[in-house]
Structures are given as structure tokens and as C-alpha cells.
Amino acid sequence: MAIYVDETTKVVVSGLTGREGQFHALRNRAYGTQVVAGVTPGKGGQDVEGIPVFDTIAEAVEVTGANTSMVFVPAPFAADACFEAADSGVELIVCITEGIPARDEAELYQYLRLRDIAMIGPNCPGVLSPGKANVGIMPTEIAAPGRVGLVSRSGTLTYQIVHELTQRGIGQSTCVGIGGDPFIGQFHIDVLRRFEADPETDMVVMVGEIGGDEEERAAEFIRDSMTKAVVGYVAGFEAPPGKKMGHAGAIISGSKGTAQAKAEALEAAGAKVGRNPTEVAEIVAGM
């Protein structure tokens, strides 16, 4: 069993007729994902290589039975596309778009939480359940089916650690790139909770970054609620204090939000923490 997406996932793509939306949606379909519809206002009735395009998500869901929305809409309009998806009745939203204003993200977060709708992202690589479904932009060539779950704030580090695991013959149940913005739909704890309940996930790799206290809160959850082993990694051991690095949420002040503080919190909770992606894979291989 995978978390978030599997063989039953039916995807409607907002922005399918755009360059990025079309490229990745067709890659997802080629992998075996059920990409059943696209949405671009004013282009209803057209199709993209056999995928029907609708004017609204509600219409696409009604006609095709889509249960998952993937959003490639430009930043000024992406939040509205997510609101529309939430109102259409889908169970999951995967928002790839980066650069969405923080205020829009905060309002969207509250809206989705009140309705118990899961969203991965924004500003994320999406979700890959190897051998079952890919909803997003993750390179499937580096992944393999298996029993190690992965959740990460960093897209690039997701790819690197997945590749390191696969090179060692260690497959993955689901790989979740949650995004690094301050306001995202699913945090580490949300994903860890799903992995803990998944009978086909034996171990979890959790990748964090500097900034905020999400990893510290995840450490508390690991200590109090996880029975499965967790291997951690926190990017940014060499980051200078007070300087934003990479994602919008990656800013530290004094000792708060540093990689060292996060690693220590995870280790105190019982997780093993690697100091680089290769070491992470080596720890997993040795467990």
C-alpha cells in the first residue's frame, strides 16, 4: 500500500495546455498514472494527446471521476486553482507552482484544513509511489518499489537520497516532497503519521532544512508516536545565521532553526541522523 497516490489515483491537471503542465502530465501518464483530464478556462473541448480539457475542475471531476488535482498554474493564479480544486470534491491537491504569495498560501492552508483536504506543496516536486503512480515532477528513473518511505522539504535532496537508496537496492514505498515554503499543505508530521499507519512501509527517511521549527516538532512526534525507525537529514550545516538560503522558509536566527539544533532534536527523539545524503543511505542500508 502506498500513501497519497497509487493505481487508483485519477488526476486532473490545472494548466495542462501550458508547456510545463503538458510535459510533466504526459510523463506521469507514461509512467502509468491515470491522468484523466486537464483544465484551462476557455479551452474546454480540446485535448492534449487524448487527455480531454475542461473549462473548470468541477466539470472535469464530474465527467471523469478525478480524485486528485495537480496544479501547474502560474503563481498569481495558482491559489485560486487550489481553491477551485478543493471545492470540486477531490481528495488530494498537488501544487507544483512556486512563488505563490505567502498570504495566499496562509489563506489556502486554513481553507483546506477546515475541509480536511490534503495538499502537497506548494513549491514542491509532488508525490511518487514507485511502480504505482507519479503525480508531480519527480524523475521516476531513479526510484524503485520497496518499503522505505521518504518525506522531504527539498526537491533536489529528495532526488539524491532516493537515487542513493536505489543504488543500494533499497526501494521506496512513497516519496513525498512537501515543499519548503512557510505555509504548505502537509508538514512532516502529517506525512509521518501516514507512514506510521502504512503496513507496507517499514522505515522512514525524513529530510529537513534550516529555518522554522518543523523538524523539532516532528522530532516530538517521532518520540511520542512513531514505532517505525526514522533516519533523518537536515540540509544547511554550513549556512550562516540570519541569511535566507534557498526556500522561503530557510532562514535562521541565532541558534534557532539551525541544522545542528534540528539534528540534535531528532537524535534525542531516537532517530539516526546522517550528515550528508550518502551517509543517510548507508545508515538505512545498515538497519
Map out the domains of the chain as residue ranges: 10-120, 139-285
Q: Are 158 and 143 in contact (CB under 8 A)?
A: no
Check residue 254 and give its pLDDT: 45
Domain at 10-120: CATH code:
3.40.50.720
Q: How confident is the model at residue 57 (pLDDT cuts 50, 70, 90)?
A: very high
Residue in the block written with cell 490545472: 14
Give the pLDDT score at 281. 97
Residue 255 has pLDDT above 70, yes or no: no
Q: Is 247 a catalytic residue?
A: yes
pLDDT band, very low/low/confident/very high, at 180 (cuts 50, 70, 90)? confident
CB neighbour list of residue 285: distance below 8 Å, 6 or more residues apart: 168, 170
d(CA 235, CA 222): 19
pLDDT digits (tens, 9 = 90+) for 92-122: 999 999 999 999 999 999 999 999 999 999 9
3-state secondary structure of 88: helix
Q: Quick check: pTM over 0.85?
A: yes
Q: Is the bond preceding residue 122 a cis peptide, omega within 30 degrees? A: yes
pLDDT band (50, 70, 90) for residue 259: confident
List the catalytic residue out of 24, 163, 188, 247.
Answer: 247
Cβ partners under 8 Å of residue 248, min gap 6: 102, 123, 180, 181, 182
Q: Which CATH architecture has domain 139-285?
A: 3-Layer(aba) Sandwich (3.40)
pLDDT over 60 at 250, yes or no: no
